[in-house]
């Protein structure tokens, strides 16, 4: 991860193309914004829509606007990954998107290492002055894989049988996302980690860990999703710690931030 001296404050917007997110919980280039919610609440859909909505920037041909995207699938069904790939192909987004997949059939070792593989690709571009968006779908599965490996190695289990360094597992991954200083090319890597909750419980071990590492969270409620509000963002507990710094003046004025 880049050290403190080579980091630049997040002050440049990364538009997701979703009004509810860009207005209420804006995402900046170099930010880590967690997408959290129960299963079947549209977490992956938000990430995929964000990737597809970078197409106009890519087609502009301006390197300062272009965003290269990486989608890391961890422990997903093979059919789900194929469906995501098809959606990106249909939208013409595969031109600037890399998919790193470790499906459910893979061993725990592959699921553990897949996010680091994706972030290594992203860092290569970031240090070459490019802008990158990386999606980790999802980090709950990586934590479970790491727990399996640790238990097989007979390491002492902690809370919920996770090893003691599970916080470090995610912090060293997400700290790779940054906006680097002009000395290193001025590139950025924006992270959209996804974490699945059980029964909307954000106080569980992995969700609280990842919330503490990231620069804000987009919380999706199953009740809102079932009431046909898409994206099902609960604006009451969703927050962006970068906030207005990652918005254009026009959007600040409209959204009142």
For 16-70, the pLDDT digits (tens) are 999 999 999 999 999 999 999 999 999 999 999 999 999 999 999 999 999 999 9
CATH of the domain at 188: 3.40.50.300
Q: Is the pLDDT of residue 172 over 70?
A: yes
Closest residue by Cα to residue 26 from 249, 180, 195, 239 = 239
Which residues are marked as active site?
241
Can you tell me the mean pLDDT for 11-17? 94
Kindly state whether residue 1 falls inside one of the protein's structural domains: no
Position 257 confidence tier, pLDDT thresholds 50, 70, 90: low
Q: What is the CA radius of gyration of the chain?
A: 17
Residue 123's domain spans which residues? Answer: 7-250
pTM above 0.75, yes or no: yes
Kindly state whether residue 217 falls inside one of the protein's structural domains: yes
Kindly state whether residue 19 falls inside one of the protein's structural domains: yes
Kindly state whether residue 257 falls inside one of the protein's structural domains: no
Q: Which residue has the higher pLDDT, 249 or 82?
A: 82
Q: Is the pLDDT of residue 2 over 90?
A: no
- Give the pLDDT score at 174: 98
Kindly state whether residue 42 falls inside one of the protein's structural domains: yes
Closest residue by Cα to residue 74 from 166, 162, 138 = 138
What is the average pLDDT score of the chain? Answer: 95
Q: Is the pLDDT of residue 246 over 90?
A: no
Percentage of the chain beyond pLDDT 90 is 92
Phi-psi category of 238—alpha, beta or left, where left has phi over 0 and alpha has psi -120 to 50? beta
Kindly state whether residue 237 falls inside one of the protein's structural domains: yes
Kindly state whether residue 2 falls inside one of the protein's structural domains: no
Number of domains making up the chain: 1
For 108-133, the pLDDT digits (tens) are 999 999 999 999 999 999 999 999 99
Query: Can you list the alpha helix ranges (DSSP code H) found in 25-165?
Result: 43-52, 55-60, 78-90, 108-126, 139-152
Position 256 confidence tier, pLDDT thresholds 50, 70, 90: confident
Kindly state whether residue 245 falls inside one of the protein's structural domains: yes
What is the distance in angstroms between the CA of the first residue and the CA of the last residue of the chain?
A: 31
Position 255 confidence tier, pLDDT thresholds 50, 70, 90: confident
């Amino acid at each position: 991860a880049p050290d403190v001296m080579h980091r630049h404050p997040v002050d440049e917007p990364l538009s997701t193309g979703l009004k509810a997110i860009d207005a209420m919980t804006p995402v900046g280039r170099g930010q880590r914004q967690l997408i959290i919610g129960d299963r079947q609440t549209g977490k992956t859909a938000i990430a995929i829509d964000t990737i597809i909505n970078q197409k106009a920037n890519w087609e502009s041909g301006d390197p300062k606007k272009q965003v290269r995207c990486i989608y890391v699938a961890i422990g997903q069904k093979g059919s789900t990954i194929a469906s995501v790939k098809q959606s990106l192909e249909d939208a013409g987004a595969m031109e600037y998107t890399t998919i790193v997949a470790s499906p459910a059939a893979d061993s725990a070792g592959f699921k553990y290492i897949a996010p680091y593989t994706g972030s290594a690709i992203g860092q290569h571009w970031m240090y070459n002055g490019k802008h990158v968006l990386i999606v980790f779908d999802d980090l709950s599965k990586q934590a479970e894989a790491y727990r399996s490996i640790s238990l097989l190695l007979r390491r002492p289990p902690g809370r919920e049988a996770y090893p003691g360094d599970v916080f470090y597992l995610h912090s060293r991954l997400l700290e790779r996302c940054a906006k680097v200083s002009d000395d290193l090319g001025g590139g950025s890597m924006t992270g959209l980690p996804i974490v699945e909750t059980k029964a909307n419980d954000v106080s569980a071990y992995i969700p609280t860990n990842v919330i503490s590492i990231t620069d804000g969270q987009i919380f999706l409620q199953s009740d809102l999703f079932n009431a046909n509000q898409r994206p099902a963002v609960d604006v009451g507990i969703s927050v962006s710690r970068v906030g207005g710094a990652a918005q254009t003046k026009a959007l600040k004025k409209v959204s009142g931030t």
